[in-house]
């Protein structure tokens, strides 16, 4: 018979029992896989909550008015890529002050490329740098035409830049730039050719501008401006682009002014606007290019 000896036979009832055991194990594995899939699906659903509904203009106005902010405080909102503003509070035409440095920086960068003066004009709100950028655009007429072209490209069809004596470059901070027009222009900024660098500078502004819109968490690009008005009070204003948690973006123009108001009073008021925007950031009307 050979050295392996006689082959042992399986007991007659063993094979059916083994097949039953295999079938039971297979069925249990299928059930376990199905349960795991359901749990994973449930976990994934719970980790991805639906975005809150966008608030209507009336809902936004009711909530904003409930803040009972000091007189002279206003907010204009425009979804990125759109051109119809939502106006809350007092949004009359006012001096642009340093927020005009954003379109000025874009105009200068398009002509000369990135520069230290562009960075300091936006990040530090340095007036001397802004003056250099203005003169870099050419003659007073050329500078006015270049900045006006950038404003028109951003769908601001109404703002008129200031004039100056012959041979003198205008001080563009004296531009009368309504919050509505500023918000409409800012809503187009992310969609404008070559705007990425200017927007990146706006995300890293110096502490003298880190108020108002900069209190909103997440991705925010902003530029502040301020100056003393004829009544002795500061006008403090800001433009910027806020990114919602779902990636949609909204442009905002905020401002505060009243007679004899100090600069710190203005920034404190706009901080309250920023906190309000934070509470509603997921419900603001957003858009994209």
Give 60-109 as a DSSP string: HHHHHHTT-PPTTEEEEEEETT----EEEE-----B-GGGGHHHHHHHHH
Mean pLDDT of 169-177: 98
| Mean pLDDT of the region 147-170 | 97
Angle 127-136/116-123 helices, nearest 10 degrees? Answer: 130
Total domains in the fold of the chain:
1
pLDDT score of 104 more than 60: yes
In a domain, 19, yes or no: no
Is the pLDDT reported for residue 172 higher than 90?
yes
Element (H, E) at 242: strand 234-243
| Predicted local confidence at residue 5, as pLDDT | 40
Among residues 174, 169, 164, the alpha carbon closest in space to that of 132 is found at: 169
CATH classification at residue 264: 3.40.710.10
CA distances from 66 to 30, 60, 261, 266, 276 (A): 57, 10, 22, 19, 10
Other beta carbons within 10 Å of 47:
7
The whole-number average pLDDT for the span 247-257 is 98
Residue-wise pLDDT tens digits, 131-142: 999 999 999 999
Confirm whether 42 is domain-assigned: no
- Structural domain contains residue 20: no
Residue 232 C-beta-side C-alpha neighbours within 13 Å: 2
Could you tell me the residue range of the domain that residue 277 belongs to?
57-283
Residue 205 pLDDT grade (very low, low, confident, very high; cuts 50, 70, 90)? very high
Q: Is residue 145 part of a domain?
A: yes
Give the pLDDT confidence of 116-125 residue by residue, as tens digits.
Answer: 999 999 999 9
91: in domain: yes
Nearest to 278 by CA among 196, 188, 212, 199: 212
pLDDT of res. 50: 62
CB 245 within 8 A of CB 281: yes
Q: Is residue 23 part of a domain?
A: no
Asked whether residue 37 is assigned to any structural domain, the reply reads no
């Amino acid at each position: 018979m050979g050295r392996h000896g006689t082959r042992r036979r399986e007991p007659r009832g063993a094979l059916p029992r083994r097949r039953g055991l295999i079938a039971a194990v297979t069925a249990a594995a299928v059930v376990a896989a199905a349960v795991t899939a359901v749990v994973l699906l449930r976990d994934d659903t719970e980790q991805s909550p639906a975005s809150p509904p966008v608030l209507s203009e009336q809902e936004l106005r009711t909530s904003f008015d409930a803040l009972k902010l000091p007189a002279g405080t206003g907010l204009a909102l425009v979804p990125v890529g759109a051109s119809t503003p939502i106006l809350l509070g007092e949004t009359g035409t006012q001096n642009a002050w340093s927020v005009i440095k954003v379109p000025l920086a874009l105009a200068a960068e398009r002509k000369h490329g990135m520069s230290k003066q562009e960075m300091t004009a936006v990040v530090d709100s340095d007036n001397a740098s802004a003056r250099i950028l203005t003169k870099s655009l050419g003659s007073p007429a050329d500078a006015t035409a270049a900045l006006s072209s950038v404003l028109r490209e951003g769908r601001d069809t109404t703002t008129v830049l200031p004039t100056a004596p012959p041979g003198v470059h205008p001080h563009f901070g004296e531009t009368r730039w309504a919050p509505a027009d500023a918000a409409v222009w800012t809503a187009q900024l992310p969609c404008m050719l070559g705007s990425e660098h200017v927007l990146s500078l706006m995300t890293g502004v110096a502490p003298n501008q880190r108020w108002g819109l900069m209190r909103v968490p997440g991705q925010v690009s902003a530029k502040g401006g301020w100056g003393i008005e004829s009544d002795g009070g500061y006008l403090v204003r800001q433009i910027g682009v806020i990114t919602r948690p779902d990636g949609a973006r909204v442009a905002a123009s905020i401002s505060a002014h009243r007679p004899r108001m100090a600069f710190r009073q203005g920034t404190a008021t706009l901080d309250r606007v920023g906190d309000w925007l934070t509470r509603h950031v997921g419900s603001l009307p957003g858009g994209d290019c």
